[in-house]
């Protein structure tokens, strides 16, 4: 019995401790606060100024390499769309020819005793509207009434994508000079030929001129070798699908003091090579760096280089000049 109580008695004996033994203290581990050190533990996290400048330089180089490629792809797409537009115009020209028996006039106008135009002035493109699935617009137009008539205000201002080159900055509508009539912008003009248009707008040796009625049989040089519709960029002068507004003038874009006749609103003449820096108002000009998109009489579309042989360039513009053109342009 006494032995059973001895553990309790031992607790009170001198030299015996009832407290647990102390635990030896180990090294203290300090954890840094989040975000208080960089990769080397010497300062705040983030880029140094030099690293930031290097990154900016790399980005600039990449943009410099990629931008020309993007622009090249974009221009290729625009050039393809432009060609497709001209092919649609070519199909419409032949559909019109099948219905009427001839290509449409360059523009339709009465002629005064002094040789000046009296209107109405509707151009070759306006006559193709039915064949370009623009029947509702065509029914708004009375080709016996002048373009500038109030009844035609809405129709003549209608911008049609099929007559626009995507490479050329959009214009929308513009107001003609001297005789003010607001019309829709277009990039495609009919080929007058190589004769001087100012002398007689009704005497073109191409397919389109005043009151022309050219049949495929009249194109003795061959449809595949005869250029019929080409481009004119706003860089040179403005054009329209609506027609030639009688009495209006067409200014040179770079020097508005230089003007030529209203027939240039719908017609062109390759006085200089394509995209020539010396191009006149009547010339063909595009924003395509490789050359000019050209619709030929057989409905084909070719890119004619800026450096084309001048003799070949003149030959393809005439319908019956008798020149032998090998198709190298």
Give me the pLDDT at residue 212, please.
Answer: 98
Residue 4: band (very low, low, confident or very high) from pLDDT cuts 50, 70, 90? very low
How many Å apart are CA 292 and CA 287, to the nearest integer? 8
H-run or E-run covering 100:
helix 49-100
Give me the pLDDT at residue 66, please.
Answer: 72
- Residue 180 near residue 282, CB atoms below 8 Å: no
H-run or E-run covering 93:
helix 49-100
How many Å apart are CA 205 and CA 30, to the nearest integer? 96
Give me the pLDDT at residue 30, please.
Answer: 53
- Residue 114 near residue 153, CB atoms below 8 Å: no
Instruction: Parse the chain into domains and list their residue ranges.
Output: 69-315
Give me the pLDDT at residue 75, please.
Answer: 72
Q: What is the pLDDT of residues 196-238, one digit of tens each?
A: 999 999 999 999 999 999 999 999 999 999 999 999 999 999 9
Give me the pLDDT at residue 286, please.
Answer: 97
Tokens of 10: 């031992």
Residue 15: band (very low, low, confident or very high) from pLDDT cuts 50, 70, 90? very low
Note the residue count of the chain: 329
Give me the pLDDT at residue 69, please.
Answer: 67
Residue 53: band (very low, low, confident or very high) from pLDDT cuts 50, 70, 90? confident
Q: How confident is the prediction for the chain on average, in pLDDT?
A: 88
Q: What is the pLDDT of residues 235-290, one digit of tens each?
A: 999 999 999 999 999 999 999 999 999 999 999 999 999 999 999 999 999 999 88
């Amino acid at each position: 019995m006494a032995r059973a109580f001895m553990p309790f008695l031992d607790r009170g004996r001198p030299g015996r401790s009832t407290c647990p033994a102390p635990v030896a203290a180990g090294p203290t581990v300090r954890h840094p606060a989040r975000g208080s050190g960089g990769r080397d533990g010497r300062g705040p996290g983030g880029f140094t100024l030099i690293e930031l400048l290097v990154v900016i330089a790399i980005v600039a180089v990449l943009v410099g390499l990629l931008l020309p490629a993007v622009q090249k792809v974009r221009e290729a797409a625009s050039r393809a769309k432009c060609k497709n537009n001209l092919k649609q115009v070519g199909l419409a020209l032949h559909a019109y020819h099948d219905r009427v028996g001839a290509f449409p006039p360059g523009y339709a106008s009465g002629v005064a005793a002094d040789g000046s135009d009296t209107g109405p002035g509707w151009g070759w493109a306006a006559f193709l509207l039915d064949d370009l699935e623009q029947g509702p617009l065509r029914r708004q137009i009375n080709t016996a009434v002048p373009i500038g008539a109030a009844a035609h205000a809405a129709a003549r201002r209608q911008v049609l994508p099929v007559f626009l080159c995507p490479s050329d900055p959009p214009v929308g509508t513009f107001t003609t000079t001297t005789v003010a009539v607001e019309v829709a912008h277009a990039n495609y003009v009919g080929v007058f030929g190589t004769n001087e248009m100012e002398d007689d707008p009704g005497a073109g040796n191409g397919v389109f001129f005043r009151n022309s009625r050219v049949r495929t049989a009249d194109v003795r040089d061959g449809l595949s070798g005869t250029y019929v519709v080409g481009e004119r960029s706003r860089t040179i002068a403005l054009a329209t699908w609506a027609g030639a507004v009688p009495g209006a003038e067409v200014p040179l874009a770079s020097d508005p003091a230089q003007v030529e006749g209203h027939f240039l609103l719908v017609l062109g003449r390759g006085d200089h090579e394509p995209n020539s820096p010396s191009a006149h108002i009547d010339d063909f000009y595009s924003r395509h760096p490789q050359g000019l998109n050209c619709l030929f009489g057989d409905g084909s579309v070719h890119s004619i280089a800026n450096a084309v042989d001048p003799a070949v360039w003149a030959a393809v513009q005439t319908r019956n000049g008798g020149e032998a053109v090998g198709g190298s342009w």
